[in-house]
Amino acid sequence: MKTILRSAASCAAIAVLCVASLAGAAQAAKTDVTGKWLFAVETSAGAGTPTITLKQDGEKLTGHYSGQLGEADVAGTVKGSDIKITFTADVQGNAINCVYTGTIEAKDAMKGKVQLVGLGDGTFTAKRQ
């Protein structure tokens, strides 16, 4: 009798884990950052409020940056709640590689770190417009 009860409890625990895993996978699949985002960026090189318009296709991101570093096309990825956006800005004839890595905090909010290669590092928060 104890063996049957243990087996039933084990099956119930496995079922709960499976449902939780499926729910997590469904949430990751629902992550869509398509739209216009207003960023607040703080770096050792200064602060700014650029906008980045994103289009998501599966895990792939494309879009456009517009801000203190000028205009640039962006590329990136979304994997679950993790996001990475990269672009190269032309600042007075110098190519600056920019990398934003962070997490999607909610449907319309994200935060993370920014690296302006050669200029400095910092943080960002972003809200969907």
pLDDT single digits (tens) 87-102: 999 988 999 999 999 9
Instruction: State pTM to two decimals.
Output: 0.77
Q: What is the pLDDT of residue 4?
A: 53
Q: What is the pLDDT of residue 3?
A: 52
Q: Which CATH superfamily is domain 32-128 in?
A: Quinohemoprotein amine dehydrogenase alpha subunit, domain 2 (2.40.128.120)
pLDDT single digits (tens) 42-65: 998 889 999 999 999 999 999 999
- Rounded to whole angstroms, the Cα distance separating 124 from 113 reads 6
Strands 82-91 and 94-106 come out as antiparallel
- Domain segments of the chain as ranges: 1-30, 32-128
Look at residue 72 and tell me whether its pLDDT is greater than 50: yes
